[in-house]
Each structure stands twice: as structure tokens, then as C-alpha cells.
């Protein structure tokens, strides 16, 4: 009897870890798609990864919703030239993912080159089978 209980618990734990790993990989792909869309300024890519309920916080304190976030990048007003992610962690809690990473890059906003070094916190939520950025907050590193 103890063997059966152990086997059932082992299988349940294994299945849970596999689901967690699958979700983590999907969230990681969403983050990569976000970064690629931010560099390219691809409007449809930005809209695809952002939740309609997005709260996007900048390191300077400005907070924008989805429409403003997408428009600033797609129009070139906010121009990301390079973005590199390091030390990323992803924690899945149900249909919510908490992502943290360091973000280093270069920008060219309004023709003024700059270097950025930020610590980022994202909240992604699974919406209709896709992981969408629900919230983002940056602080200067």
C-alpha cells in the first residue's frame, strides 16, 4: 500500500514539474518576443504580448497603459537599439508568472543616444492560452 501511495505522489509531482517547466518555457518565449518587438518597433508584436490591462511602469515613475506603451515604441518616440537580458528568474503561480531580470541596452530616443541599466519586474498572466504582460516596473540598476 505504501508503494502505491509513493508511486501516485511521485507521478503527481513529476507531472506538476513538467507543467511548470512547460509554462516557464512559454513565459520565457513571451519575454523574448517582447524584447524583439521592443527593438524592432513591431506594433503587432507589441500588441500581441501586452495585455489589454497593461500597467507599464518606467524607472522615472511614469506609468502607461497598453495603447501608450505600444504607440511610443512603434512610432519610434522610444527607440531601443539594443537590449540584453541577464539573471532572469521566472516563478509560476497558477496562471500568473513573476519574471525578474537585469536589462542593459542602448536607446536613441529623439536622436539622443543613451545607455540603460535597469532591474525589471514583470507580471505575465495566461490569457486565452497565451502569456501576456500584465504589469512591468523598472528601477535603475
Q: How many CB atoms lie within 10 A of CB 92?
A: 20
What percentage of the chain carries pLDDT values higher than 70? 86
pLDDT in tens, 59-94: 999 999 999 999 999 999 999 999 999 999 999 999
How far is CA 135 from its chain centroid? 9
Domain count, the chain: 1
Q: Which residue carries 539573471 as its cell?
A: 87
Confidence (pTM): 0.85
**Residue 50 domain boundaries:** 2-140
User: Which helix (H) or strand (E) is 17 found in, with range?
Assistant: helix 2-40
Has residue 2 got a pLDDT over 60? no
Reduce the DSSP state of residue 46 to 3 states and report it. helix
Amino acid at each position: 500500500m505504501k508503494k502505491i501511495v509513493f508511486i501516485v505522489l511521485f507521478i503527481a509531482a513529476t507531472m506538476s514539474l513538467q507543467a511548470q517547466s512547460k509554462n516557464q518555457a512559454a513565459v520565457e518565449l513571451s519575454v523574448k518576443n517582447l524584447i524583439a518587438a521592443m527593438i524592432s518597433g513591431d506594433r503587432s508584436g507589441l500588441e500581441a504580448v501586452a495585455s489589454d490591462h497593461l500597467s507599464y511602469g518606467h524607472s522615472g515613475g511614469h506609468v502607461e497603459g497598453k495603447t501608450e506603451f505600444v504607440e511610443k515604441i512603434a512610432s519610434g518616440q522610444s527607440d531601443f537599439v539594443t537590449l540584453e537580458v541577464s539573471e532572469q528568474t521566472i516563478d509560476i503561480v497558477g496562471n500568473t508568472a513573476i519574471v525578474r531580470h537585469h536589462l542593459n541596452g542602448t536607446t536613441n530616443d529623439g536622436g539622443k543616444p543613451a545607455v540603460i541599466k535597469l532591474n525589471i519586474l514583470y507580471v505575465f498572466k495566461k490569457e486565452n492560452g497565451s502569456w501576456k504582460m500584465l504589469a512591468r516596473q523598472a528601477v535603475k540598476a
